Amino acid sequence: MKKRHIYLTGFMGAGKSRIGRHLADLLNLPFVDTDQEIEKMVGKTVRRIFEEEGEAFFRKQEAEIVRQVSQHPAPRVVALGGGALNDSRSLENIHRSGIVIYLKSAPEAIFKRVAHSRKRPLLDVDEAPDREAILVKRIEDLLQKREGLYLQADIIIDRDGLEAEQVAEKLLILI
């Protein structure tokens, strides 16, 4: 299978979907967001899937969508969920079918982007005076566990301090 897709990986809140959309526009390629595809397939939001079916069910759907996307013959820009590379079969499918870009972002910058969003069940922290410290710690711990997988990317770009459009433009030169 020839490498033809462009996959964006990185932690929740790194900007994979926004940057991916800009990059797809610049390259004139279709854009796919695996979370959105899962939501379409299951007919529920990611949050409701986690709440009603559990994480293991979500991961099964995620691996299936990755398999389908990776087998698509025409090139696409694909924003992966932040945990998609954890599945070894998905990791293989992704690297075999495309180049992988890691959108690197620091825990504090991630915190700023996710703090007011209710989209991500893995980052749910109840309102409390030390909510920020708890959430930053959660992000640091999870990032540490996952970064080895992110760092296997073909291209690594530090996206902090840049707008999504600027990151996409920088990527155009790198890919």
Contact residues: ligand S3P, CB under 6 A: 12, 16, 35, 46, 81-83, 120-122
Q: Is 98 annotated as a binding residue?
A: no
Among residues 22 and 35, whose Cβ is nearest to ligand S3P? 35
Write the CB contacts of 70 (distance below 8 Å, at least 6 apart in sequence). 1, 5, 93, 94, 96, 97, 98
Q: Is 90 annotated as a binding residue?
A: no
CB of 81 to ligand S3P, least distance (A): 3
Q: In whole angstroms, give the CA distance from residue 39 to residue 88.
A: 22
Q: Is 59 annotated as a binding residue?
A: yes
Among residues 6 and 12, whose Cβ is nearest to ligand S3P? 12
First-last CA distance in the chain? 19
Among residues 16 and 21, whose Cβ is nearest to ligand S3P? 16
Among residues 1 and 144, whose Cβ is nearest to ligand S3P? 144
Please name the residue that has the structure tokens 């995620």. 62
Output the furthest CA–CA distance in the chain (Å, rounded): 51
Of 43, 49, 96, 48, the C-alpha closest to 69 is: 96
Q: Is 113 annotated as a binding residue?
A: no
Summarize the annotated binding site for ATP as residue ranges: 13-18, 120
